[in-house]
Amino acid sequence: MTLAPRVVLVHRRSELDELLERHGTRGQAEFFLRTRGRDLADVQARHDAIGEALHTVSAAIPSGWRRGSVERTDLDRFLFDPEDVVVVVGQDGLVANAAKYLHGQPVIGIDPEPGRNPGVLVPHVSADFADLLIATVDHRARVDHRTMVEAVTDDDQHLIALNEIYLGHPTHQSARYILASPDGRTERQSSSGILVGTGTGTTGWLASAYGERHSQLPLPRPTDRLLAWFVREAWPSPFTGTSLTEGTYGERAELKVLVEHDALVAFGDGLESDHLTPTWGQAITLRVAHRSLTLVA
């Protein structure tokens, strides 16, 4: 007997939910915002928009199908099935948060507040979900296979991300290491960290590094099997250089870093709680991941 499809809704608590958890009552939350020149009405409107989108999406799932639901903070404990259809309702970053736990399952990104979010990874509105779901299950929907980035330590610890991986000091102070670029050059550096990211990531943190240095580097597209890398604020000294600070490379190349610090930290897509901690003398390699995100486009 063939099981009915399962649709897994991925969501996160709204700002109103977090305010109520922190302050206990709606009145206390309203007082907290009012004394800081803010209005609860805007927070309520955003909460309502998310709730309405979740309701619309949930109502569009056929009654005989299986369902699952997971909040962002529980993603690392949720077991996705290979045949799941994953529906992310929220901001673009929520898709990136979920991507590292997926292995090819199609993802439909629903924007509950069109016009407020960039919509890069949540390009759809809830009203279109019913048709998108059927097209996805029937394999008629167009999908993008978005490249991901992976970090691997020399003791075989792995970290994967959709946008970018940051490697640097845990408190963003100067990090010391030897960088081996994909073309084989090496340089001892002291910097505020290294960013290695994908074409999807070029709309986020990588865009900041790219813009600040007025780089002319051709950046990859989201589906290109290429990565871009930037060294942040490399410090010139008698012992450290600044000649290797940016570049791109493909899946047959690697960026390697030999740690010369008590401990550095590597985390992906801004999730500092999920990280690697390479220590003095360890090597960490950053490369194109074998997995990719299947995004319904």
Q: Where among 118, 141, 164 does a domain terminate?
A: 141
Q: Are residues 15 and 112 in the same domain?
A: yes
SS3 22: helix
Query: How does pLDDT run across 64-111, given as a tens digit for each residue?
Result: 999 999 999 999 899 999 999 999 999 999 999 999 999 999 999 999
Q: Which domain holds residue 35?
A: 6-141
Query: How does pLDDT run across 156-202, given as a tens digit for each residue?
Result: 999 999 999 999 999 888 999 999 999 999 999 999 999 999 999 99
Q: What are phi and psi of 127, to 5 degrees?
A: -65, -25
Tally of structural domains, the chain: 2
Tell me, yes or no, if the pTM score tops 0.85: yes
Look up the CATH number of the domain holding residue 93.
3.40.50
Q: Are residues 208 and 246 in the same domain?
A: yes
Q: Are residues 110 and 214 in the same domain?
A: no
Domain membership of residue 295 (yes or no) is no
Q: Where among 141, 168, 185 does a domain terminate?
A: 141
pLDDT score recorded for residue 7: 98
> Whole-angstrom Cα distance, residue 288 to residue 297?
22
Domain membership of residue 294 (yes or no) is no
Q: Are residues 27 and 115 in the same domain?
A: yes
Query: How does pLDDT run across 238-256, given as a tens digit for each residue?
Result: 999 999 999 999 999 999 9
Domain membership of residue 10 (yes or no) is yes
Q: Are residues 119 and 179 in the same domain?
A: no
- For residue 65, the 8-state DSSP code is S
Predicted confidence (pLDDT) at residue 1 exceeds the cutoff of 70: no
pLDDT band for 292, please (50, 70, 90 cuts): very high
Domain membership of residue 101 (yes or no) is yes
Q: Are residues 164 and 32 in the same domain?
A: no
Q: Are residues 186 and 169 in the same domain?
A: yes
Q: Can you list the alpha helix ranges (DSSP code H) found in 122-233?
A: 129-137, 205-212
- Mean pLDDT on 46-60: 95
Domain membership of residue 297 (yes or no) is no
Q: Where are the beta strands (DSSP E) in the chain?
A: 6-11, 66-71, 85-89, 106-110, 143-153, 158-161, 164-168, 175-180, 186-191, 194-197, 226-231, 246-250, 255-259, 265-268, 275-276, 283-296
Q: Where among 114, 141, 168 does a domain terminate?
A: 141
